[in-house]
Amino acid sequence: MTKRLVVLGTAAMLAMGAAPSGPWMDKSLPPDRRADLVMEQMTLDEKLGLVHGGSAYAGQATPQPTQSLGGAGFVPGIPRLGIPDFQMTDGRSGVANTGKRGRYATALPSSLAAGATWDVKLAYEYGALIGKEARDLGFNVSLGGTANLIREPRNGRNFECWSEDPILIGKMLGRALKGTQDQFVIGNINRYAVNDQENGRMVYSANMDKRALRETDLLAFEIAIKESDVGTVMCAYSKLNGVYACESPYLLTDVLKKAWGYKGWVMSDWGAAHSTVPSVLAGFDQEMPTGRYLGDAFKAALEKGDAPTARLDDMVHRILRTEFAVGVFDNPPSVHPVNPFTGAEVAQQVAEQSAVLLKNANGQLPLRAGAVKSIAVIGSHADVGVMSGGGSDQVDAAGGNPVAGGGAVWQPSAPLQAIREKAAGAKVSYDAGTDPASAAKLAAATEVAIVFVNQHTSEGRDVASLALPDNQDELVSRVAAANAHTIVVLETGGPVTMPWIDKVSGALEVWYPGIRGGEAAAHILFGSVNPSGKLPVTFPKSEEDLPHPVLEGLAGRTPAPFDVNYTEGLKTGYKWFDAENKAPLFPFGFGLSYTTFAYSQLKAAASGQNVTVTFTVKNTGRAAGAEVAQVYVGLPANAGEPPRRLVAWEKVPLAAGESKVVKVEVDPLYLSVFNVERDGWEVLAGEYRVYVGGSSRSTALAGTVRMAER
């Protein structure tokens, strides 16, 4: 009689009462020691099994292992040692790729929207919800957390990013990743590094000098990694200075593991591995989703002596110690239905705090329910939902996509219905906006016209321009010509140009606002919520004002290799506009409120390399609101830096007439420059200008501090 071998996952063994045992299960031991104890029991093949994905090789018909949940990725565990299966899912603006666990997870506002809240506590809740829902669905690795700068505003994945500023990215994303990992789910930070556009992402080389690299793109990763102790770093598809990111000793070993002391592991983006020995020797730890390079080929390299076994042991140790450190070993997922009510509450809170009021001429907003008798709602399928971004960050719409075709996905949160609920007694009519003349006719017959416009962006392609697609600029212009009380609500994945901005009375940016986006927009339009979002990215007047007016790689979907030369260096985002004396359409940090704020009593003091800034913010209006008070610093002239950089902020809630004293401590790293010759950070001696205010271009207070020679 032939015996059939049955391989059970760790979760299945636990369900049968076969709890793993061994000295590594002693929770009192440190993670590194526990990892060492497990490794003493592992065979070579078992170690190799952890350093690559368990999906089929490209071109093979091998099915996914039965214990895989069918998410974004899978690595089989080792049941006899209690090593759990890695069940991976995407999770930047909610749990995507839920596989066999069903379709429902909360569609949160985009990461860029979360960045617009400037609220580190809310960022933690955002990440914690993703971690909790991933765990409830049976996953233990969340592939979320993009630390790339919005260096290229036409990038199709900007909606997955948090900002154009490395410190804002690092602090906000760091808290979100911490929230995820506190749910016993391993977090991930990606796409390391300088993957700042999608066109040609498999073939282009992003080229930048070392100082600019460390002070811009890599600084965002450095802060977020240190703030969160995130378990995994995902290397990007693209090259950096001619070397694939997943083969770069500088990125993976010199900076990440040595300079930053990173203890987690490096995994590839899906299909971003290109070699065996060069990748392994560079510091690469895990190939996903297959084992093309780190499976049999790696075993052969080890047996030949082309790769040292010590490197394999380091790879496995990093993986195991992370599992212990995050709690995956000791707290396996317990599957529960996702709570849609908790998710919707967090989603709406983020959407409401992330919306940025860009224009409010003559106090057009908030609309007064009961005073307005007729409203035209126009465009962007506002009768059924709100737009979301595409690609691996696409969270399936609960209840299905209410808009068929076109590739874009709308979340079923209808602004039209929410506006009707708020505008009690008013006649609220809808026009699809596909015919500008028809929309203008409806607008002319109503007191107020609210035009919803959108810009669909997605992984895998950049937008051709910053103009709104599908003739929407003409739609807004025609409606505004017909009705002087026209308000535009923008659902976009990043900055757009607005040739009609002088013709409309109001403009509200809601980004991709998630499953309660319609309700959030209506609450702001009618004043139930006072907008407090601030732009985490500069909106240019035109593409001619950008460092790269022409986007590289638009010739085809799979172009020949090409270079993207970031010769602007340190001058990213608002720093470019400041250094080049260019006026943006809307500056970084900008956002209006239904109340007003005043700043006073600035005090800035230095003690060694530490700077303390104290000031007072007062709500001078008649409505309660929250102000994002921002602190910028201009470094000494000999630093060779752009005019000013963000170094601190605080979101300050204030009742009408209330004042608060704000005190912030500036991290010395945020005042530093990177000395390439010394390969380290330094705070230069000299005079530092301190600016405080409501945006990068509106700083009511200014002072100086002097840093002494060390």
Are 306 and 277 in contact, with CB atoms under 8 Å apart?
yes
Least confident of 19-23, 213-217, 282-286, 555-559: 555-559
- Give yes or no: residues 46 and 176 share one domain: yes
Measuring CA to CA, which residue among 142, 122, 146, 123 is closest to residue 132?
142
- 322 with 413, same domain: the answer is no
pLDDT of the residue at 322: 98
Mean pLDDT within 280-305? 97
> What pLDDT is recorded for position 65?
74
Q: pLDDT tens for residues 132-156?
A: 999 999 999 999 889 999 999 999 9
Q: Is residue 57 over pLDDT 50?
A: no
Task: Give the lowest-confidence range in 54-58, 492-496, 644-648.
Answer: 54-58
CATH of the domain at 151: 3.20.20.300
- Of residues 100 and 248, more confidence is placed in 248
Question: Is residue 379 in a domain?
Answer: yes
Q: What is the mean pLDDT of residues 594-617?
A: 96
pLDDT digits (tens, 9 = 90+) for 391-414: 888 888 777 888 877 788 899 999
Given its phi and psi angles, is residue 370 left (phi above 0), alpha (psi -120 to 50 degrees) or beta? left
Statement to judge: residues 301 and 393 lie in one domain: no
| 536 lies in some domain | no
> What mean pLDDT do residues 266-273 have?
96
The answer to whether residues 363 and 310 belong to one domain is no
Q: What is the DSSP string of 474-517?
A: HHHHHHHHH-SSEEEEEE-SS----TTGGG-SEEEE--S--TTH
Do 166 and 28 belong to one domain? yes
The range of the structural domain enclosing residue 160 comes to 23-56+87-326
Residue 486 lies in a domain: yes
Last residue of a domain, one of 529, 551, 574: 529
Assess whether 207 and 163 both reside in one domain. yes
Q: What is the CATH number of the domain that holds 492?
A: 3.40.50.1700
Distance in angstroms (rounded) separating the CA atoms of residues 493 and 515: 16
Tell me, yes or no, whether 273 and 394 share the same domain.
no
In a domain, 163, yes or no: yes
Q: Which residues are part of the catalytic machinery?
A: 269
| Rounded Cα–Cα distance for residues 164 and 236 (Å) | 18
Q: Is residue 683 part of a domain?
A: yes
Residue 314: pLDDT over 70: yes
Instruction: Provide DSSP, 297-309.
Output: HHHHHHHHTSS-H
State the average pLDDT over residues 410-429.
95
- Give the DSSP H or E segment for 411: strand 409-411
Q: Give the chain's domain count.
A: 3
Per cent of the chain over pLDDT 90 is: 85
The fraction of the chain above a pLDDT of 70, given in percent, is: 95
**Of the listed ranges 12-21, 40-49, 597-606, 668-677, the one predicted with least confidence:** 12-21
Residue pair 604/611 in contact (Cβ under 8 Å)? The answer is yes
What is the predicted pLDDT for the residue at 61?
42
What's the mean pLDDT in 371-379?
97
DSSP code of residue 110: P
Query: What is the CATH classification number for the domain harbouring 696?
Result: 2.60.40.10
Same domain flag for 521 and 599: no
Helices (H), 526-610: 574-579
Q: Using 50, 70 and 90 to split pLDDT, how confident is the model at 525?
A: very high
CB-based burial label for 422 (10 Å; 0-12, 13-18, 19+):
buried
Are residues 92 and 241 located together in one domain of the fold? Answer: yes
Query: How much is the pLDDT for 554?
Result: 65
Q: Is there a cis peptide before residue 193, judged by omega within 30 degrees of 0? A: yes
Report whether pLDDT(60) > 80: no
Apex 385 CA angle, 379 and 387, nearest 5? 80
Task: Say if residue 160 is in the same domain as residue 220.
Answer: yes
- The whole-number average pLDDT for the span 306-311 is 97
Determine the pLDDT at residue 21. 81
| Residue 102 forms part of a structural domain | yes
Inside any domain, residue 258 = yes
For range 380-392, the mean pLDDT? 94
CA distance 193 to 252: 10
From 153-167, 338-352, 481-495, 607-621, the region with the lowest mean pLDDT:
338-352
Cα–Cα distance for residue pair 200/43, rounded to 1 Å: 40
For residues 297-302, average pLDDT: 98
Task: Read off the pLDDT band of 632 (50, 70, 90).
Answer: very high
Out of 274-278, 456-460, 468-472, which region has the weakest mean confidence (pLDDT)? Answer: 456-460
Backbone angles phi, psi at 521, to 5 degrees: -60, -45
Same domain? 213 vs 170: yes
Mean of pLDDT over the chain: 93
pLDDT at 558: 58
| pLDDT over threshold 80, residue 559 | no
DSSP, collapsed to helix, strand or coil, labels residue 579 as helix
Top pLDDT among 64 and 89 is at 89
Same structural domain, 264 and 153: yes
What confidence tens digit (pLDDT) does each residue in 90-133 have? 989 999 888 776 668 999 999 999 999 999 999 999 999 999 99
pLDDT reported for residue 395? 87
Distance CA 542, CA 432 (A): 28
Please state at what angle helix 120-136 crosses helix 340-354, rounded to 10 degrees: 150
* Residue with the two structure tokens 């308000």: 487
Question: Given this model, what pLDDT does residue 143 score?
Answer: 95
| 4, pLDDT greater than 60 | no
121 found inside a domain: yes
